Amino acid sequence: MDKRAGKTFGPPPNKVLIYFMDDLNMPYVDKYGTQSPICLLRQIIDYGVIYDRDHLEEKKYLVDIMFTGCMNPKSGSFFVDLRLTRHLSLFACLTAEKEILQTIYYQILDSHLCTFDNKCQALT
């Protein structure tokens, strides 16, 4: 991130910085029902501000940033703070069945190997 002007930070001009958060549901849920890393992330999204650790009274404003993430349906807390999810669009995707994946990858591999000799084509 570059310093834009004063206390404003962001990616280079005419660019957008996209943060990808893998396993968004992994942080431990404490006894109060909160997740500390998620609360920090929510603060950044809500206010567009982070604080300098050396000078806690100084705010740094963030511009031109976006957040995207994914959750693992088989592990983690299976819970994400509702105050964070109100900022997100949620999509659920199921894993394709084995036969469907075989058909997809067979077509891709077959179209690539058709340019080679017959021995390579037979490997499809």
The answer, as to whether pTM is greater than 0.85, is: no
Chain-centroid distance of CA 27 in Å reads 15
Report, as an integer, the average pLDDT of 52-69: 88
The token pair that represents 84 in the structure block: 């964070």
Where do you find CATH 3.40.50.300 in the chain? 2-93
Percent of the chain past pLDDT 70, that is, above it, reads 98
Chain-centroid distance of CA 99 in Å reads 28
CATH, range 2-93: 3.40.50.300
Report, as an integer, the average pLDDT of 67-92: 80
**63-93 core/surface letters (b: 16 or more CB in 10 A; e: else):** ebbebeeebeeeebeeebbeebeeeeeeeee
Please give the pLDDT value at position 76: 66
